[in-house]
Structure 1
Amino acid sequence: MPNPSLDPFPTEALEVLGFPETLSWIAEFAATPAGRRALAAVHPEMEPSKREGVRKRGLEASRALRGDASPSFGRGGDIPALLEHATHRSLDGDELASLLDALRRVENLNAWAASHPEFPALNALLAGAPSLSDLLSLLEVTIDERGEVRDSADTAIPPLRKDLIKAEGHRKKALQEALEQWGRQGFLQETRPVFRGDRPALAVKSTHQGRARGILHDRSKSGDTVYVEPDSVVEWSNQMASIESRLRQVIQRVLSECTRSFVRRRRDLEDSDYRLGQTDLAFATAKWAVEVNGQWPEMPSQSLRLLEARHPLLGRQLGFQEVTPLNIELGTDFDLLVITGPNTGGKTVALKTVGLLCALACAGLPISTAEGSAVPFLPGIDADIGDHQSLESSLSTFSGHLRKILRILEGVQKGSLVLLDELGTGTDPEEGSALGQAILETLLESHALVMANTHLGSLKLFSVQSNRAENASMEFDPENLAPSFRLLVGVPGASHALDVAQTMGMPSPILERAQSLGRRGGGMEDLIADAAGVRRHAEEIRERARDTEAEVRETLRSAEEQENAARFRAKLRENEAEMAFRELRSRLEALLQSRGGALTGQMTKEARTQFDDFQLELRKVLDESDLALRWDAFVRGLKKGMTVWVPEYRSRMQVLKLDSKRGRIKLRHGQLEIELPIHEISWLDSS
């Protein structure tokens, strides 16, 4: 029985696979602090519902990117950080301005979702956000884009600011008069005023200090110049200081009230920030998938299938075209794959690639593979990869491996993915082989999916003899005496130690003696070489089949893009039809009103009756059309705080007030409030 107290996805294993580093890379594509926090919280051991949510929203974001329909995240402050500040003090104007931007960003995302019902998972996420229109309206009348408190924030502010401007004007005038007078009297060292703190002063020669009446604020280092604020200026400076003090008190009261309103909505704000983060997470992963030419694998799957898999971090380092792709399947014909081959041939990279991509998939994220890849829901991923020798803990390489393997054996579950690097090494080969085989047998009995690297020949034989087990090797190019980094499933590999030794200049007598000793093995290496040739031919056939499959997938993708384009054209036609209908209706109403009276004045009573009936019938036809019915439903659903599209301004505006009787609507456009006929707004948007 597995130990339930053990972490099925150990942090140490995820780190060696490169999972945290990959998340950090994906986070570079996030547009908001909320998105980066959401990515930091992603983990392979997520609840199935959360994992599926991340996956579905990522797939929709990917479609939105391909269809050029992704939203703008704009700019804005970090809501949790602002909340933290607000619990200790009042927020200043700059902070409230950044909060205002953050709330507008949330509102714009909600509007985007409402206009894109073709993305149901993102719609469901954003549609559930609490309304923050009251807080948004409060901030809009309180703070401007520069973080300054508006005059509209408090009735006491406009007169104080007006008095301050007036007092400053008087002070400037008094200062100029003093400057001219003292200049004529020869008191001044300089002919322009200076400021000491917030007080204006004139540079007076120290020899005239007693004659220049005013407040001494400073003295030059040489002592030749003193800085004096003239008495005629002091009065106005004091008055300005008094006004500014009162103004600061009013502004501080306004900021404190806004901050309290902000803190009172903590839960709603944290909820909105979470939804913002999840949306940003979806688009960040979609952008990263483009970067690594990746896909979301099929999930859940009965088996693990990775096609043209590349380790994303290795691809980032070397360039993806320089990384040999990996094709592997586990859980269909076999659950254990034993990989052999030369050192530096790519065995460890193969393990890390499979482990990392499975961890990403289990977290709902895309993976750097071709379409057609599939990953089951793995209950755990653990790995013994690398040299765990430690001088501090007195662990040998062998002991370091054993410590990890004991943890794996204690925590393994049915369906877990286990990755073992250099199994059985670090000790006597015979004992290491025996121990390695026993470990593999135990893991097979637990029904785990296992990949193991080894140089031990007996483990190759074990894989041949065991059900649910298979051999694989990293291909070695005998002509160039170098690894090709291609994984060949079904063929055990040789270490090619003698070939590598020859390329490095090992003396011929030693190589010849080693070859003669190696022949005692019964020709196993010759059999392996023959099998490798057959396998290479089979791989070529399989690659051609995969190329054909890729062409089919590309055709399907092209069909999907054509379908998206058709939907876009349909929306465009709907937009044009709606605008044409509104224009026709408006022109017809104007025509009937302007020309109707003139026409009816020349008609007989019977003709006027028929004309009136015609007007009623015409209006009835217009009112009962599909577009009119949709328009009426749209108008009935309008509420304060909603955002609508105004075609004439080519802009989205917030509804402030609706007057159905007059057929007018008041809207906010930036900082302006405008009133328009209701027929000038649209249920459609700019997209």
Structure 2
Amino acid sequence: MDEKTLLKIEFDRVLQMLGERCGSSLGKGIAGELTPMSQKHEIELGLKETTEAKDILRLNPAFTLGGIRDIGRIVERAALGGILEPEQFLSIADTCGAARKTKLFLLNLKENYPIILDLAKKLGIFKSLETAVGETVADDGSIIDSASDKLYGIRRKIRTSQDRIKDKLDSLIRNPNTAKYLQDNLVTIRGDRYVIPVKQENRTQVPGIVHDQSASGATLFIEPMAVLELNNDLKRLRIEENDEITVILKNLSQLVASFEAEILFTLEILGQLDFIFAKGRLSHSMDGGAPKINEHGIIRLKRARHPLIPKDVVPIDVDLGSNIDSMIITGPNTGGKTVTLKTIGLFTAMALSGLHVPADDGSDLSLFHNIFADIGDEQSIEQSLSTFSSHLVNIVRILKEVDEHTLVLFDELGAGTDPTEGAALAMAILEYLRGRKVKVVATTHYSELKVYAYNNPNIVNASVEFNVETLRPTYRLLMGIPGKSNAFEIARSLGLNEEILAQAGSFLTQDQVQVADLISNLELNQKISQQEKEEAAALRKELQVMKHRLEAQKIDLQNKEGEILRRAQEESLKILKKTKDDMDLLYNEFKSSLVAESQKFENQKLLQSKDKIKKMGEGLEYVVPEKRFAGQAPQKVELGQIIEIPKLNQKGQVLSLPNQAGEIIVQVGIMKITVKLEDIRTTEETEQKTGTTKVGRIRMEKISAISSELDLRGLLVEEALEKVDKYLDDAYVAGLKDVRIIHGKGTGALRDAVTLHLKKHRQVKNARLGEYNEGGNGVTVVSLNV
């Protein structure tokens, strides 16, 4: 990419903004070397990683890669056998800790960010190295006493020696015979030796070695002979301490060296992550987005905002399709033509570098292999070149290097010379570039270029809008409309005589007047079109609101319909239940009536029989006693026992044992009824002997046919539970107390489902897994309530 062009479109200032958002020199180094890429997949990868970083920061605004240091040279020095300083170990530990925390944070994100997560997985974890540094070097860079046993012992001796020296010197200071010779009653240090301040005139009264004197010379700092040997011992201990610290640092440096490759690779990944998150922060600050990248020369920008202009920048819309070779931008000075030119070039460079651009969604930029720009004042005093000549030198250089994958930006093409010749030269340059399929955006004041663009379907006119009433540009870019210099309108607004303006108008050629009228008509049509566009947009927005309202009403109606259906269903179920209850009541009443009628009929027959017997037995001395049922009311009954119910003149089979109220359930024919013990009588009949009831026959059939175990292996859970229900009912009827359900071991899913189901079954008393000799965890032993 042409470096001069990148400077002219101020790409370097964007890189500066990017570097300011990096948290480390590693990221800043990558940001400073960023250049546009030439491969589409690389560009799209860069845009996607920017999008991922921006989204992570949006959800986690406090996230930072804090603590990263550029420790590459330090680690390499350790690998070469060098001994590192304590502060350097702290930088290594901080960086390793930052890598560990960053990896943990990114891998625990709930959302999926494939590019960044792939980088995070590559980060190394150096917990042992962090721990070793933490146990050796304190936060202030000093070596911890416990860094080694030997160092701990040496420092303990040093403290003891220091205490002995201080005690000795304190005794000298407190001694009245010595204190009178001192300048101050204190102990100080000079050159690692403990000394006391002695007045100059009393030098001979305190024997010892002079180590220093005050600036005035009035005080001498003397090491008394009494502590000379003690200071020597302390000096030897200091040397031992330094030697041991050297050994400790050497060992720790060797540990760092053993991780050289992993640390350097992790450092590279941290730099990339820092750079990527800086891109995300820049995008957020610019309210940027990822444009689509094409290879067809299409440039389509929606509400593009130059990133180096303050927030009140006026957004522009640019639409250059694949069938458009060039765009000619015209309009007054300071109207924003050059800004538009730079915006197109800068956005292209940013997108090709993997950076978001401050434009709305739906923006497209093309993959150009190079961008050339001729922008600004190119005058060169040193080379004795005029502005026109300097521009032309630059243009000649550009024309030699362009191809069909090039974007060229011209500011005031053909300016600086005779307007007629300059316009002709500009058109020739544009034709040359069109012939080589080069995409061109140029600004100009020449009316000839406006007509040239108007007469060529592959060239589009554009202009920056100017408000004649306020005499200020609006900075809006109007596609398809050439701009005017507005010299007459500005002069009229400033009060220039109309006679002069009319005279000036007469000097214009017919072609110039026609061009001016054409531009005026185009501007009028553009305003009408823009007004209609805005009205259509407002109508579309209104229709959209109405659509949303109708959709909401539709959903509300569907919800109400569902609620009505639900209520109707509930009412139907209530009616069905009430009808069933009423039918059950009628059935019970009918059944009771039948029993009563049957009893009444039996009683009538009995009375008739009694009357006959009475008549037949007239004259006899005794009366036939009323028929009674043999036996007394039983105190207890057994399941399956046949009993009599005198009140109903029926026999039945006991289905349940007495409850607390002394009631039992009896099967009488097809009905099950509840009676009290005092209302029944025992009979000599049993189910086994008579087999008179249907229940008895069913039970006998079950006993003879049912097995004491059920095999569920190979069945699905739903199918198995259905078989369990049927089997337990049959086992209960058959009177089996204990049964075995074989479900196998497998994954345990069937066993767990059977266990849970048995806990809720009405016939199950308890259930347990089988013992070793019963099949173990592959069998459940069930005890029934029989």
TM-score tier by shorter-chain length is: 0.7 to 0.9
- 2:449 maps to which of 445, 459, 475: 459
* Compared CA separation, residues 65 and 383, structure 1 to 2 (3 A): same
Contact 2:154–2:237 (Cα < 8 Å) also in 1 = yes
Report the TM-score, using the length of structure 2 for normalisation: 0.65
1:457-476 CA-to-partner distances (Å, cap 9, x unmatched) read 11111112223211001111
Alignment partner, residue 588 of structure 1: none
| CA distance in structure 1 between the aligned counterparts of 2:87 and 2:496, rounded to whole angstroms | 71
* Compared CA separation, residues 174 and 327, structure 1 to 2 (3 A): same
Alignment partner, residue 562 of structure 1: none
Contact 1:64–1:70 (Cα < 8 Å) also in 2 = no
Alignment partner, residue 313 of structure 1: 308
Residue 21 (1) aligns with residue 13 (2) = yes
| Counterpart mapping for 1:603-614 below 5 A | none
- 1:57 maps to which of 49, 67, 71: 49
Contact 1:360–1:366 (Cα < 8 Å) also in 2 = yes
Residue 537 (1) aligns with residue 528 (2) = yes
- 1:99 maps to which of 86, 92, 111: 92
Q: Which amino acid aligns with 2:18?
A: I
| CA distance in structure 1 between the aligned counterparts of 2:177 and 2:518, rounded to whole angstroms | 108
Alignment partner, residue 400 of structure 2: 410
1:528 shift after superposition: 0.7
**Higher mean Cα deviation, 230-239 or 205-214?**
230-239
| CA distance in structure 1 between the aligned counterparts of 2:750 and 2:238, rounded to whole angstroms | 61
Residue 430 (1) aligns with residue 420 (2) = yes
Q: Which amino acid aligns with 1:157?
A: L
How many residues in Structure 1 have an aligned counterpart in Structure 2? Answer: 552
1:209 aligned counterpart, secondary structure: helix
1:176 shift after superposition: 1.4
Alignment partner, residue 409 of structure 2: 419
Alignment partner, residue 704 of structure 2: none
- 2:33 maps to which of 35, 41, 49: 41
Q: Which amino acid aligns with 2:33?
A: A
**Higher mean Cα deviation, 177-186 or 444-453?**
177-186
| CA distance in structure 2 between the aligned counterparts of 1:167 and 1:76, rounded to whole angstroms | 42
| CA distance in structure 2 between the aligned counterparts of 1:450 and 1:549, rounded to whole angstroms | 36
Unmatched 5+ residue regions in structure 2? Answer: 549-737, 754-786
| CA distance in structure 2 between the aligned counterparts of 1:245 and 1:19, rounded to whole angstroms | 58
Residue 74 (1) aligns with residue 66 (2) = yes
Q: Which amino acid aligns with 1:13?
A: T
Unmatched 5+ residue regions in structure 1? Answer: 1-8, 557-609, 626-687
1:274-317 CA-to-partner distances (Å, cap 9, x unmatched) read 211221122212111121111121234652211111111113xx
2:521 aligned counterpart, secondary structure: helix
Alignment partner, residue 552 of structure 2: none
- 2:199 maps to which of 202, 205, 215: 205
* Compared CA separation, residues 551 and 367, structure 1 to 2 (3 A): farther
Contact 1:488–1:539 (Cα < 8 Å) also in 2 = no
* Compared CA separation, residues 393 and 551, structure 1 to 2 (3 A): farther
* Compared CA separation, residues 356 and 406, structure 1 to 2 (3 A): same
| CA distance in structure 2 between the aligned counterparts of 1:407 and 1:502, rounded to whole angstroms | 43
Contact 1:182–1:188 (Cα < 8 Å) also in 2 = no
**Higher mean Cα deviation, 512-521 or 523-532?**
512-521
| Counterpart mapping for 1:245-284 below 5 A | 245-263=239-257, 265-284=259-278
1:158 shift after superposition: 1.6
* Compared CA separation, residues 222 and 403, structure 1 to 2 (3 A): same
1:167-192 CA-to-partner distances (Å, cap 9, x unmatched) read 22222222211221267551111122
Q: RCO (CA 8 Å, sep 6+): is it higher in 1 or 2?
A: 1
1:328 aligned counterpart, secondary structure: strand
| CA distance in structure 1 between the aligned counterparts of 2:38 and 2:150, rounded to whole angstroms | 54
1:527 aligned counterpart, secondary structure: helix
| Counterpart mapping for 1:86-485 below 5 A | 90-116=83-109, 118-181=112-175, 185-263=179-257, 265-300=259-294, 302=296, 303-315=298-310, 320=311, 322-485=312-475
| CA distance in structure 2 between the aligned counterparts of 1:551 and 1:134, rounded to whole angstroms | 65
* Compared CA separation, residues 283 and 232, structure 1 to 2 (3 A): same
**Higher mean Cα deviation, 88-97 or 395-404?**
88-97
Alignment partner, residue 611 of structure 2: none
* Compared CA separation, residues 263 and 525, structure 1 to 2 (3 A): farther
| CA distance in structure 2 between the aligned counterparts of 1:222 and 1:128, rounded to whole angstroms | 65
* Compared CA separation, residues 263 and 514, structure 1 to 2 (3 A): farther
| CA distance in structure 2 between the aligned counterparts of 1:285 and 1:176, rounded to whole angstroms | 65
2:382 aligned counterpart, secondary structure: coil
**Higher mean Cα deviation, 150-159 or 96-105?**
150-159
1:260 shift after superposition: 4.4
* Compared CA separation, residues 292 and 546, structure 1 to 2 (3 A): farther
| CA distance in structure 1 between the aligned counterparts of 2:168 and 2:528, rounded to whole angstroms | 98
1:68 shift after superposition: 2.2
1:375 aligned counterpart, secondary structure: strand
* Compared CA separation, residues 622 and 450, structure 1 to 2 (3 A): farther
1:22 shift after superposition: 0.9
Q: Which amino acid aligns with 1:44?
A: P
| CA distance in structure 2 between the aligned counterparts of 1:453 and 1:500, rounded to whole angstroms | 21
Alignment partner, residue 676 of structure 1: none
| CA distance in structure 1 between the aligned counterparts of 2:4 and 2:367, rounded to whole angstroms | 21
* Compared CA separation, residues 201 and 551, structure 1 to 2 (3 A): farther
| CA distance in structure 1 between the aligned counterparts of 2:41 and 2:64, rounded to whole angstroms | 27
2:308 aligned counterpart, secondary structure: helix
Contact 1:34–1:277 (Cα < 8 Å) also in 2 = yes
Alignment partner, residue 657 of structure 1: none
| CA distance in structure 2 between the aligned counterparts of 1:467 and 1:129, rounded to whole angstroms | 56
Contact 1:46–1:363 (Cα < 8 Å) also in 2 = no
| CA distance in structure 2 between the aligned counterparts of 1:623 and 1:39, rounded to whole angstroms | 61
Report the TM-score, using the length of structure 1 for normalisation: 0.74
Contact 1:77–1:95 (Cα < 8 Å) also in 2 = no
| CA distance in structure 2 between the aligned counterparts of 1:325 and 1:131, rounded to whole angstroms | 47
* Compared CA separation, residues 394 and 550, structure 1 to 2 (3 A): farther
**Higher mean Cα deviation, 137-146 or 11-20?**
137-146
* Compared CA separation, residues 463 and 202, structure 1 to 2 (3 A): same
1:269 aligned counterpart, secondary structure: helix
* Compared CA separation, residues 221 and 183, structure 1 to 2 (3 A): farther
Contact 2:208–2:223 (Cα < 8 Å) also in 1 = yes
2:29 aligned counterpart, secondary structure: helix
| CA distance in structure 2 between the aligned counterparts of 1:549 and 1:297, rounded to whole angstroms | 25
| CA distance in structure 1 between the aligned counterparts of 2:75 and 2:204, rounded to whole angstroms | 56
1:389 shift after superposition: 0.4
1:102 shift after superposition: 0.7
1:238 shift after superposition: 2.3
1:397-418 CA-to-partner distances (Å, cap 9, x unmatched) read 1121122222222222323221
Identity score, percent = 31
| CA distance in structure 1 between the aligned counterparts of 2:542 and 2:194, rounded to whole angstroms | 77
Q: What do you get for the CA RMSD once the two structures are aligned?
A: 3.3
Q: Which amino acid aligns with 1:309?
A: A
* Compared CA separation, residues 480 and 223, structure 1 to 2 (3 A): closer
Structure showing greater Rg: 2
| CA distance in structure 2 between the aligned counterparts of 1:202 and 1:184, rounded to whole angstroms | 11
| CA distance in structure 2 between the aligned counterparts of 1:78 and 1:66, rounded to whole angstroms | 27
| CA distance in structure 2 between the aligned counterparts of 1:15 and 1:192, rounded to whole angstroms | 67
1:250 shift after superposition: 2.1
